[in-house]
Structure 1
Amino acid sequence: MTKTNRSALLALALTLGASPAWAQEAPSCQTLRMADVGWVDNGAINGLTMAVAEGLGYETKVTTLSLPIILISLQKKDIDVFLDYWSPASDPLFQPAAANNSVTLLPEPNLTGAKFTLAVPSYLATDGLKDMSDIARYKDQLKGKIYGIESGAGGNQLIRTMIDENRYGLGDFQLVESSETAMRLQVARAIRKQEPIVFLGWAPHPMNLQFDMTYLSGADDLWGPGGGAAKVHTVMANDYQTRCPNAAKLVSNMKFDIPMESHMMERIMAKEPAVQVAKQWIAKNPQWLDTWLEGVTTFDGQDGKAAVIKHLKL
């Protein structure tokens, strides 16, 4: 090998050594396609994920769909990820799909300590409606109605099961399906008038701060032990971890807690954009980036944490 050739090879080696370690993902992976079921908590955790992903050089696309359509979209790979599968409420919808590998359910929840079951204003609990078995005695005052959220939601399905199976004498009750927002307005109206109402409640959610409310005991086999204790999971399209490993690693790292979500949800409900709220929350709590960005690079293979810090101007 001539001196000229050796010099050329050395120059090439130095050039390659200085080049970034490009992420091994297809161009199609640069758009992170996320589902949103329309719940405020979903908006909060999507906002956090979007803020971080965009700092890594990804684009994000959020599509609002009902839970059954989210599942179908994941199976068809029209959506990459859904961060808001509540268990056990939505187990009947997602568990069969996870079992037959038509979607990927991440084994560790992204949120623990959640709660999801029926609730009443506390003045109604003081009057005696404290357990699922008490509801039927208040049928006339309740006008035979239990207020849920949007059609297809797991909580609605559990209410429907109680009605269809005449559990606790609820066979003649009617499930009122509406949006989360409409349900909360109905509860607020009832509380202003000190009227009885039974509704679907959960935490994290600012409703726990806005309303003096009591969760009902009972039906732990449906709602989860401990009076509706719940966990929230992430679901992915079944090939996403191999198709887009860096983006999938980011999504699998996204973990949350109750105070974080409740704080953000209150502002989102006040009509502040979710991504803006997320960026401001991260600016005050940058330590979470260590968890979210472990083993994650930018889309083009650069230092992930440095890029996000620069993007968010931290």
Structure 2
Amino acid sequence: MLKYILALGIGLLSTIPVPTQAAEPESCRKVRFSDVGWTDITSTTSTASIILEALGYAPESSMLSISVTYASMKNKDIDVYLGDWQPSMVADRKPYLEDKSIVVLGPNLVGAKYTFAVPKYASEGGVKDFADLQKFADKFDRKIYGIEAGNNANRMIQEMIDKNDFGLKDWTLVESSEQGMLTAVDRAIRDNKWIVFLGWEPHPMNTKYQISYLTGGDATFGPNFGGAEVFTNLRTGFTQECPNVTRFFQNLRFSLEMENEIMDAILNQDAEPKAAAEAWLKAHPAVVKPWLEGVTTFDGKPALDAVDGAIKG
């Protein structure tokens, strides 16, 4: 089923008609993003917004949960979501693929991972696999640290606990937020205490802390440490209404290094997301060129000239 759904999503990309036109209708000027509050998606949304502003669009972002994001796309209140992590979010998007209320582009990122992580000293102490957690339950205080309530990963973790997978029935899922979880991780590592938490890459946690990802979670998070690709989702109808900006989203590709660096500036250097993204783009101007192939400004002028001028400022 997963392969079918992914194939369906990717197949949609190849069938999207993107006719050439000199300029977009005024209704396309405002591009409405959903940002679910993860720093990686905030980073990519900010980066895309900077480019769109340079092209003459008026991007705006709303902080929404995953479930509200998809409902809002179905209701045509949100146009774009850059954070469709697969396969962990397959259940979230499935009904909207089935009723054809969203279109899947991408992936916009490959090589990501998403599963349980522990500090390196806990791994060296014997925790290398999900099955090792219960052996050291007291050292972990029988707690698994997740992110915001309602997140699909939290739901999967709670299902593991409810089903007593790996003997975790008396463990507790601690829900807070990405920042709340990282604060707990920071405190634990500073005090040399053991902690198990939801880890992922891209994220500066991978460079700020010495952490190890656990094997054994394939049934929950997928193989290769929850190996993932991140897709761009558009509301159905957007591709026909706004073909020029759709072409931009079709072209849009990020890298682990790029996202790690922008996220590090946000999380560890107190930079505002758009300022962090703008600084990265100024330092890496060549990355923009393939994003703009076949794209014009909102009013039909050369895209690369407009973006180069805005970035170099």
Q: Normalization by structure 1: what TM-score? A: 0.89
Contact 2:251 2:293 in 1 (8 A): yes
Decide whether the 8 Å contact of 1:22 with 1:300 is kept in 2.
no
In 1, Cα distance between equivalents of 2:285 and 2:312:
11
Structure 2 letter corresponding to 1:295: G
Partner of 1:305: 304
Q: Which amino acid aligns with 2:198?
A: L
Runs ≥4 residues deviating over 6 A: none
Q: Which residue of 2 aligns with 1:68?
A: 67
2:165 is the alignment partner of 1:167:
yes
1:92 corresponding residue in structure 2: 91
1:89 match: secondary structure: coil
Residues 130 and 217 in structure 2, CA contact (< 8 A), matched pair in contact too: yes
CA distance in 1: counterparts of 2:152 and 2:199, whole angstroms? 12
**Are 1:127 and 2:112 matched, yes or no?**
no
Structure 1 residues not aligned, in runs of 5+? 1-20
Alpha-carbon distance in 2 for matches of 1:289, 1:213: 32
- TM-aligned CA deviation for residue 111 of structure 1: 0.4
Mapped to 2, the partners of 1:138 and 1:104 lie a distance apart of 44
Residue 270 of structure 2 corresponds to 271
What residue is the counterpart of 2:228 in the other structure? 230
CA contact (8 A) 1:88 1:222 kept: no
Helix, strand or coil: the match of 2:249?
Answer: helix
Q: Which moved more, 1:28-37 or 1:166-175?
A: 166-175
Match among 260, 263, 268 for residue 258 of structure 2:
260
Aligned residue identity for 1:283: K
Tell me the equivalent position of 2:237.
Answer: 239
For residue 140 of structure 1, what is the aligned residue in structure 2?
138
> Aligned to 1:195, what secondary structure does the other structure show?
coil
CA contact (8 A) 2:115 2:217 kept: no
**Aligned partners of 1:41 and 1:205 also within 8 Å:** yes
Using the TM superposition, give the Cα deviation of residue 145 of structure 1 relative to its aligned residue in structure 2, in angstroms: 1.1
TM-score for both structures, normalised by structure 2? 0.90
Deviation per residue, 1:268-313 (Å, 9 max, x gap): 1122122222222122212212211011111111111111112223
Give distance in 2, aligned partners of 1:97 and 1:162. Answer: 26
CA distance in 2, matches of 1:259, 1:28: 35
Amino acid at match of 2:311: L
Shift of 1:191: 1.0
Name the CA distance, whole Å, in 2 between partners of 1:226 and 1:22: 43
Q: Is the 8 A contact 1:90 1:153 kept in 2?
A: no
Paired residue type of 1:31: K
- Matching residue within 194, 216, 232 for 1:196: 194
Q: Which residue of 1 aligns with 2:217?
A: 219
Residue 22 (structure 1) shift: 6.6
Displacement of 1:25: 2.9
Q: Which has the larger radius of gyration?
A: 1
SS at match of 2:112: strand
Residue 185 (structure 1) shift: 0.4
Other-structure match for 1:25? 24
After superposition, what is the alpha-carbon deviation per residue over 1:69-94, rounded to whole angstroms, capped at 9, x for unaligned? 11111111111001011111111111
The answer as to whether partners of 1:129 and 1:135 remain within 8 angstroms in 2 is yes
Whether 2:117 is the aligned partner of 1:151: answer no
User: What's the counterpart of residue 180 of structure 2?
Assistant: 182
Percent sequence identity is 40
Which position in structure 2 is the counterpart of 1:79?
Answer: 78
